[in-house]
A and B are shown apart, each in its own frame.
Chain A
Amino acid sequence: MSSLLDALLLGAGYNAALVGIGAGLLGFAAGAAGTFLFLRKRALVSDAVAHATLPGVGLAFIAMVALGGDGRNLVGLLAGSALSAWAGLLLVEWITRRTRLSEDAAIGAVLSVFFGAGVVLLTVIQTMSAGRQAGLEGFLLGSTAGMLFQDAVVIAVGGTLAVLATWVLRRPMTLVAFDADYAAACGYDVRRIDLAMMALVMAVTVIGLKLVGLILIVAMLIIPPVTARFWTERSGRVIWIAGALGGTAGYVGAAISASAPAMPTGPIIVLGAAALFLLSLFLAPARGVAAALLRRRRFQRRVHRRQGLLALARSERVHDPLTLKVLRAEGLIRPDGVATDAGRAQAARVARDERRWDVAREIHQDAGLTGRYDGLTPIEQVFTPDEIAAFDRVIGGPSPVGGPV
């Protein structure tokens, strides 16, 4: 446990601190950039982009070795991966636009074919004399063990640039995500904005290759925005909450991974993000599962209370156990099922409300108002006092309710 604290406070060594800061920044950038992808309902495009990086990594390695350089230069490899990811992205776009295949088919085709090509290139590299210790497999699942200061700088600078780009582009991207047709009518070039969004996603993917690996980087782009969506209904906030969640998952994940053996960084970060997602799914206010259950329960009790009181008003016995429970808890009936004075008063009120609604629906012209009758809303919330007085004149004088007559 103390080693985890050390790692969290950047005290677990130089390399671990580098990885932690890098992962935090990357997580923030990925969460923020992924938000638009999620809002545009194109989350899985990032999967195609991520898998499409592999052939670029292989080609860059081969090219750098052929030119007599060190094939493992990270900047070169990332540049190669960006190129092939961009090619994959354009292909997805081309297939969806030019043929009748849907986007998901295009995504699946591009990701599997590019990944296959990447694997072919990896086997070619393994047979090259310079390729035996290339370590390119590290890009599949990420590897942080031998991270250099230079690598961390690449991640930090790239992550910062990605966050800045998100900030600059947030308005057009939000507009396109919510209503692409309206954006087009406003004179925005929807296709260019979409491509810019994808470029952002690609940048995050490429930066994250070394740390999280190409199979799991999608998780950093998808899970934090989905999680953030539980906590707010405002798109502006989703971006920053997703960024914060992603950053937390990245930083804490890297710390956990540094503090214990056999804890691969990428999967730990993803599982951290998944844990935050599960928490939010159940506990978030308004959109969470627990909140929905509570809402349902409250609604159910309101219905039972109302129907129970109406039954009392008609001098009927209440049999339903939940209704009995609700009425007893409020002291409206005695344990033997007979209405108390308070119960009779409430029953009279509810019966009068129901009667007024009946009249209102008969004589009032505005269906927009009478349509709000749902058997629960008190009539005072919909009509003005003088309108209600008019209904009462139709109803006539009071009549006794409740109890034996």
Chain B
Amino acid sequence: MGKAILTKKILLHTVLMIGVLVSIFPFYWLVVMSTNQTSAIFAFPPKLTFGGYFMTNFNHVMDNTNFIRALFNTIFIAVLSTTLQLFFNSLTGFTFAKFQFPGSKALFYVMIGTMMIPGQMLLVPQFMIIKELGWVGDYKALIVPGIASAFGIFWIRQYALAIHNELLESARIDGCSKFGQYWRIALPILRPALAFLAITTFMGTWEDYLWPLIVLTDTSKFTLMLALQQLKSVHTADYSMVMTGTLMATLPLIVIFLVVSRQFIAGIMEGAVKS
């Protein structure tokens, strides 16, 4: 019996490890390409180990793109979007969870319904509005439409349902306004839910491609994803440089993910069960 279980265990872990290799290999390949010269990778057989050319490739990226600029643009947009989303989503989610007012149920269901609208469908008319507002080429076009999201509100609301009414009640008796109840009581309790929302929003903004491609016109305002696409289209021959740029643009998110992975995956799993 013991032997049969051991065989089964080994078999299971082998299958799972093959999957892990498939998941990890492209990252390994990314680092291999970033540390070698293009000629070494395009040789037959290709080089499969790390080389010593990372700094050379890094300097090429710096010479050929405004990487630092794109990095700061991306951080700026991602931080601002995330902060605004955290504030508006938590305020709205808390309100839906803890207060009843005329129309609150209907308004809540309308909000849930909006999650079913496929985003790409509204691309053209949304662009028209942005144009009408004179926001083409402006970060407002990236930030403002997304400062409150149905998913974020729903997510916070599910958490906020667990806040004890007595807590809010006693705050109210002490003369705390509704906003005060949100700011002083709910917000600290909602911290874990906010952390998850912050990470997903930050990553989503960082990786966004189609909408920035449409509304940003000036290369000096480009985000990392747009800069990367441009680098790739222009320098098709220097693959090592393009790969190095890719590594530099994705590394921050990988680091953030590895630091918070446990809580983040727990959040994803909770989210799936709730919806």
B partners with A: no
A residues with a Cβ closer than 8 A to B are: none
